Amino acid sequence: MSEFDRRRWDGRYADGSYRSRPHPTPFVVDWVEKLDLRPGSRALDVACGLGRNARFLATNRFEVEAQDISSVALEQARTLAAKDDLDIKFTQQDFDVDTPVESAFDLIVVARFINRTLNDHLAGMLRPAGWLIYEHHLKTDSIVNGPKDPDFRFDPNELLGVCENLRVVFYEEVIDQDPDGRTMALVRAVACNDLSS
């Protein structure tokens, strides 16, 4: 990511962006409950922003790492986690430059973030039988909220390609409403690093 982009994200967080959306992603909540992974499972919140999903995971007894490019977001995320007495390892990471270690996680959560370089590595970052939960904006002709630049949205079926070496147990492309009432075009997938069953 360019220095310009990093500063743009820092500026957004410094201006208070996303503070009004502290709720974890409902799709993540539903599937974490369904998967019922053992306490202490290692989870990664990719591009965590203010850490809403990282806090949800830590509250549910995951060992959580949360990474983002924005030092301003991470500072605010640390403060929010400390308020809830949650132990989360927040680190600054630019996924354009570096990807997390291979085979490290029982669960990877990606919410409202797309990085095609990172996406090529996601399956390899999962432990055997590890899970990926992914929700992001989808290209659409409908009038919706979210990124204006179509490059920051998935093409139809593109997320299936990200999961091609995984067992996909759920996939949908939908128009849906966020908890704050905003209309979004979204693609969602849940997949497991276990092609054998």
Ligand X SMILES: C[S@@+](CC[C@H](N)C(=O)[O-])C[C@H]1O[C@@H](n2cnc3c(N)ncnc32)[C@H](O)[C@@H]1O
Compute the least distance from the CB of residue 19 to ligand X, in Å.
11
- Between 152 and 167, CB nearer to ligand X: 152
List the one residue from 108, 111, 166, 191 that touches ligand X (CB under 6 A). 111
List the one residue from 37, 58, 64, 73 that touches ligand X (CB under 6 A). 73
Compute the least distance from the CB of residue 16 to ligand X, in Å.
13
Compute the least distance from the CB of residue 151 to ligand X, in Å.
13
Does position 93 bind ligand X by CB under 6 A? yes
Does position 192 bind ligand X by CB under 6 A? no
- Between 120 and 194, CB nearer to ligand X: 120
Strands across the sheet containing 63-68: 88-92, 63-68, 42-46, 105-111, 126-137, 183-192, 167-177
Report which DSSP code applies to 79.
H
List the one residue from 62, 99, 107, 112 that touches ligand X (CB under 6 A). 112
Compute the least distance from the CB of residue 45 to ligand X, in Å.
7
Half-sphere exposure (Cβ direction) of 45: Cα atoms closer than 13 Å = 30
What's the rounded Cα separation, in Å, for the pair 177 and 26?
Answer: 11
Which residues in the 33-72 window bind ligand X by CB under 6 A? 47-49, 52, 68-70
- Between 101 and 195, CB nearer to ligand X: 101
Among 196, 136, 131, which residue's Cα sits nearest to residue 163? 131
Does position 154 bind ligand X by CB under 6 A? no
Question: Which residues are CB-neighbours of 193 under 8 A, at least 6 positions away?
Answer: 123, 126, 127, 128, 129, 130, 131, 132, 165, 166, 167
Compute the least distance from the CB of residue 148 to ligand X, in Å.
13
Compute the least distance from the CB of residue 56 to ligand X, in Å.
11
Beta strands 126-137 and 88-92 are: unpaired
Among 111, 83, 80, which residue's Cα sits nearest to residue 179? 111
Question: Are residues 60 and 32 in contact, defined by beta-carbon separation less than 8 angstroms?
Answer: yes
What's the rounded Cα separation, in Å, for the pair 49 and 185?
Answer: 20
Q: Interface with ligand X by CB under 6 A: which residues?
A: 1, 9, 18, 47-49, 52, 68-70, 73, 93-96, 111-113, 115
